[in-house]
Amino acid sequence: MTVTSLHNDKISHPTFQSRLGASKLTLKHGKVCIIENLDVSLPEGKVTAIVGPNGCGKSTLLNGLSRVHAPSSGVVLLDGKDIHCLPSKEVARRLALLPQDTLAPDGITIEELIRFGRHPHQSLLKQWAMDDQQAIDYALDAADLQGLKDRLLDTLSGGQRQRAWIAMSIAQETPLLLLDEPTSALDLGHQIEVFELIRNLSRQGKTLAMVVHDLPSACRYSDHIIAMKKGEIITQGSPKEVMTKELVRELYGVECDLIPDPMTGSPILINMKRVRS
């Protein structure tokens, strides 16, 4: 795998196989340019963590890749085709997005929420069928929610609710899953629940990308890291290859030391302190 470097004037591009990527992508909020002329690809069958300081364009990139945010220029390619030229239901059968803010109707159960994931597979000619129920049962099992399927969503813990939303995406049966801060506002135990579910989905062959603020978790649970600053990708590659003291300082203005995790070998940040400018 080719690894980019924040110290190189020219950024080389990865050569891995990818089903989702973008070329010369420019994304704006109104007249403000957030991302300009960016090339990116997600390695197939892997977990990609998108990291970087607040406001660097991580969520905007994810929304651009998922067709939520239309580009000002450039193209997003899904299986080699312009994603904006594909029918909406076809995109929804290939790609699922779990945004930061999720809302569900009051009084809905876990199983009822997960049923929404089957909507892309319904049509006038194909109504609810056995394969839809099998997809829901599979999603409940994958998220370890079978015993809770009749519980109301608003009675669950934060980690259980987040697993329910991910289960809805699993029921959508897409090979690609994009998650925007999937562990936001969760305590440590619930964060681990969600990250381990993400790893399990990757082992089953899904391609996942997630916006992550916690660098140690990004290193531990991802195969590939994309580091962003001011709308640009400054480096990318495996956690062992790209996570350096220089990168942490460049992104966050934080000095630290790095040691290998004794279990996984992934980098662990220690002795962290804010650099005063």
Q: How many CB atoms lie within 10 A of CB 59?
A: 19
Spatial separation of the C-alpha atoms in residues 183 and 163, rounded to whole Å: 10
CB 82 within 8 A of CB 91: no
**What is the reported pLDDT for 184?**
83
Q: Are strands 32-43 and 18-29 parallel, antiparallel or unpaired?
A: antiparallel
The reported pTM is 0.86
Domain edges within the chain: 18-274
**What is the reported pLDDT for 106?**
87
**What is the reported pLDDT for 159?**
85
Which are the contacts of 186, defined by CB distance < 8 A and separation ≥ 6?
Answer: 158, 159, 162, 194
Q: How far are the Cα atoms of 88, 135, 235 from residue 9, in angstroms, in the given order? A: 39, 48, 11
Which residue, among 84, 89, 88, has the nearest Cα to 121 in the 3D structure? Answer: 89
Q: Write out the chain's pLDDT in tens, 277 residues.
A: 334 444 444 344 555 568 899 999 999 999 999 999 999 999 999 999 999 999 999 999 999 999 999 999 999 999 999 999 999 999 999 999 999 888 888 899 999 999 999 988 877 666 777 889 999 999 999 888 999 999 999 999 888 888 899 999 999 999 999 999 998 878 888 888 889 999 999 999 999 999 999 999 999 999 999 999 999 999 999 999 999 999 999 999 999 999 998 888 889 999 999 987 6
**What is the reported pLDDT for 15?**
55
**What is the reported pLDDT for 1?**
37
Tokens of 232: 């640009």
CATH topology of domain 18-274: Rossmann fold (3.40.50)
Spatial separation of the C-alpha atoms in residues 196 and 176, rounded to whole Å: 17
**What is the reported pLDDT for 28?**
95
Where do the DSSP E strands lie in 181-238?
A: 207-211, 224-229, 232-237
Amino acid present at 73: S
